[in-house]
Amino acid sequence: MSSDTARGLTRAPARFLRERDGHEAHVTNVELFFDLIYAFAVTQLSHRLMHNLSAFGALETLVLWFAVWLGWQYTCWVTNWFDPERIQVRLLLFAVMVIGMVMAASLPLAYGERGLVFAISYVVIQVGRSLVVLVFLGRDHALTANFRRICGWLAISGAAWIAGGLLDGMPRFACWSVAVLCEYLSPMFGFPLPVLGRSTSADWRTTEGGHIAERCQAFVILALGESVVVTGGTLSDLATWTAPSIIAFLVCFAGSVAMWWVYFDTSSSAGSRAIASSREPGLMAAYFHYVHVILIAGVIVSAAADDLIILHPPERIDWPTAWLLLGGPAIYVAGNGLYKRVVYGLFPLSHVVGLVLLALLAPFAFHTDLLMTGGLTTVVMIVVAAWESVSRRGSTQAEEPASAE
């Protein structure tokens, strides 16, 4: 931490901040409770995607997913600095939750009649939370300038969100895409603004890296858990349980287990160590957020595919279902590979092979049905999980996480 930052932290009121006593901050129960709203949002997005399988429908869902992730991500950074056990911070989280529930409930019709509701609720979350944080910090805290820049960029993107909510069709999609890019890319450049300047890595050195890693891991398990719940719910809703539907359920469940194994078997704990040992924990934590949005998108797409497999196991494959069944695992494997590139410093060979195998399945998929294709993608995920597990456990050198320079 720079001397100016240290003086700022000492000089400013810090009654709402987490204690920085050398011990790693852990995820609190109220944060896990807060995440339940986003579990609901993940389910909404998965269902929306299943009913909008066109290329444009997928892009629309992608923009909505980035909005959901960014709302969670920015709140995650707030609870990294501010103590959720403080009543004021806890009340802020509860306020975000209730507005977030409205936002999540509007997701299925966000490109229809509830577009403005979605946009307003999202902007209130992003801008409102940042304004409250500035009140918490006061004028003299070292983090104040940083949050002013964040608030400025969220206000800019907020204008695009609201404008999109007032429009329809392609103009709405265009406005919301611009808004997402503002919020996703601005941190990479330090939230630069006229007069306010830009943030530097020194502004993020007070980040609790282990806490950020834990929060990302909790979201992954939450998304995977929702996919399991959706799978079970789809089976439950079937009027008749046939042999193909039961086999489809088992195939989908095995796929979810393999996805869990790919991420959690070794790399999740290594990820926590990577941030803790990094010379720039704030930068490393930012990398985590950038790659996890891809990784969890794979879970959402795979959950939509599982729905289709259980509902229509003998149905023939067409282009929309092909990209769903093959794209979900591919996005997940690619996201995990990027995550492990951040943690270990290299993209695992097992993940490269997995992506190649999924690509090879593409032409074959059009000559078979949903159940067969789903079964083959599950086999690929099991191969990736087993290979990665054996290679990581068999090499103590590979277990050492990389540190950000």
Query: Is residue 399, in this structure, part of any structural domain at all?
Result: no
Other CB atoms within a 10 A radius of the CB of residue 393 amount to 12
Provide the pLDDT for residue 202. Answer: 61
Number of structural domains the chain divides into: 2
Query: And the tokens for 108?
Result: 């299925």
Q: Which amino acid is at 269?
A: S
Question: pTM of the prediction?
Answer: 0.87
Same-domain check for residues 103 and 195? yes
Distance of CA 159 to the CA centre of its chain: 23
| Contact by Cβ (8 Å): 354, 328 | no
**Which DSSP state fits 197?**
B
Residue among 86, 75, 81, 91 nearest 8 (CA): 81
Same domain for 388 and 307? yes
Task: Specify whether 94 is located in the same domain as 196.
Answer: yes
Residues 188 and 228 in one domain: no
Say whether both 80 and 96 belong to one domain: yes
Write out the chain's pLDDT in tens, 405 residues: 344 444 444 444 556 777 655 556 678 889 999 998 988 899 899 889 988 888 899 999 999 999 999 999 999 888 888 888 889 999 999 999 999 999 999 999 999 999 999 999 999 999 999 999 998 888 878 788 888 999 999 999 999 999 999 999 999 999 999 999 999 888 888 888 888 888 766 655 555 667 788 888 889 998 998 888 888 888 888 888 999 999 999 999 999 999 999 998 866 666 667 766 666 666 677 778 888 999 999 999 999 999 999 988 999 988 888 889 999 999 999 999 999 888 888 899 999 999 999 999 999 988 899 999 999 999 999 999 999 888 876 664 444 444 444
Cα separation, 361 vs 63, in Å, equals 28
Q: In this structure, are 222 and 199 located in the same domain?
A: no
**137 inside domain:** yes
Is residue 79 domain-shared with residue 161, that is, in the same domain?
A: yes
What pLDDT was estimated at residue 399?
46
Same structural domain for residues 134 and 178?
yes
> pLDDT at position 7, please?
43
Q: Examine the domain organization and report whether 157 and 264 are in the same domain.
A: no
**Backbone phi, then psi, for 19, in 5-degree steps?**
-70, 130
Domain that holds residue 74: 3-204
Task: Give residue 281's pLDDT.
Answer: 64
CATH number of domain containing 297? 1.20.1410
Q: How far is CA 133 from the centre of its chain?
A: 23
Give residue 24's pLDDT: 60
**203-222 burial code (b ≥16 CB/10 A, e <16):** bbbbbbbbbbbbbbbebbeb
